[in-house]
Amino acid sequence: MQEITCKLLVIGGGPGGYVCAIRAGQSGLDTVLVEKAQLGGTCLNVGCIPSKALIHAAEAFHSAVGFAAEGGSIGISAGPPSLDFGGTQSWMDGIVHRLTGGVAGLLKGAGVKVIEGSARFRDGKTVQVSSVTGEQLVRAEAVVIATGSEAVALPDLPVGGAVISSTEALALPDVPRRLVVVGAGYIGLEIGTAYAKLGSHVTVVEAEERILPQYDGDLSRPVAARLKALGVEVLLGAKARRMMGDALLVEVEGGGERHLRADKVLVAIGRRPRTNGWGLEELALEMDGRAVRVDDHCRTAMRGVYAVGDVTGAPMLAHRAMAQGYMVAEIIAGGRCAWDRRCIPAICFTDPEIVTSGLSPMAARDAGIEARSGTFPFRANGRAMTTGRDDGWVRIVARADNDLVIGVQAVGVGVAELASEFALALEMGATLEDLASAIHPHPSRSEAVQEAAFKALGRGLHL
């Protein structure tokens, strides 16, 4: 068996793993990265990137259909559009290949040795890799576990046939005529909304009493209204049971049942850390449920063994994994770093989009913080009006005693591009006066941030 020794071994080539490996290589560390599938992990290959491409294509088609039907209201008319979904999929694949190819190039440029294969721990310093070229033994001074996460399955709805996960949903050869989505979290609603815009009849089944239960109701209500406008049927307090022929059996509130006929049933009830298949049982790690427990340096309970990204639990976000991976590389290279983040922004790419950063008013209250907030609606924002979509708002939450900003939330078209301003405000310790005094360009949706700060200060201008 071939043996390799290195300073750092990274297991997993997703956002956390490849960023860690690139930075380590740039710092002169002898680094090996093992990935059993494609570089870029779930995010680049079957998650964040292809789903956002599908969302964009769906919105473009939906807008074209709308213009053909009633575009005269803004002086534009067009003929009925047609959809070549195979062409859409080819375009999506091209984006993925460009990005994954870019990651491979960056790793090579940083001097990182990439092994395609499955890694399994023998002990905390030794990993056996099964690859197409045979078995290899890698011995490392430090190891980073970046194995990511996997979709949660329902025992009575295993993936296969008509039942699909988000991975299959992003690679369908045709737009399903009838799509049932089990789970009204961000994954289910992002994909479900996209297919509704492409022409599917979409039904969403959610066990909770409202959609997007991880967000507060003020943020989810505009999304619920939009789903209704798009013709998406939403069944709340409903539980998916099993397939019966070409129909999904659903138990609804009150003990009744419905049979939902479907060409495809997307199960999207969440994700969990991927802890199987890489030799966890050979290590003496501490766990938080299914997640690997780490400290503020991403160190596990074993010396020289680190973990980053989804395998360490929530929030399962690519940008969190990247920040952790970069920090760990700096630490192993001799730098002084610690995980001290005031804010990890989260974006839900529904229609309209949702952004959350820091504390909501309710979360501040639960934490015993006396806070005040200001909200500004996009219906009073000139730029939003000129796009034809002025639903949603921006809300700023600040401490009542010193006006320190502790949270910013928004819902609306395009608010994802405001997320960085929200995060920067919290990381830099901005006050309401800082946001109110910063000149925001006109006309832009970002003006709603400034206006919300004025509102929280009791000096609202345009409302």
* Cβ 396 vs Cβ 426: under 8 Å: no
Mind telling me the catalytic residues? 442
Amino acid 437 reads S
CA 134, CA 33: separation in Å to the nearest integer? Answer: 16
**Exposure string over 81-93, b if 16+ CB within 10 A, otherwise e:** eebeeeebbeebe
Per-residue exposure over 133-165, b if at least 16 CB sit within 10 Å of its own CB, e if not? eeebebebebbbbbbbbbbeebeebebeebbbb
CA 22/CA 106 separation, integer angstroms: 7
Amino acid at 181: V
CA of residue 25 relative to chain centroid, distance: 27
95 vs 105: CA distance, rounded Å: 15
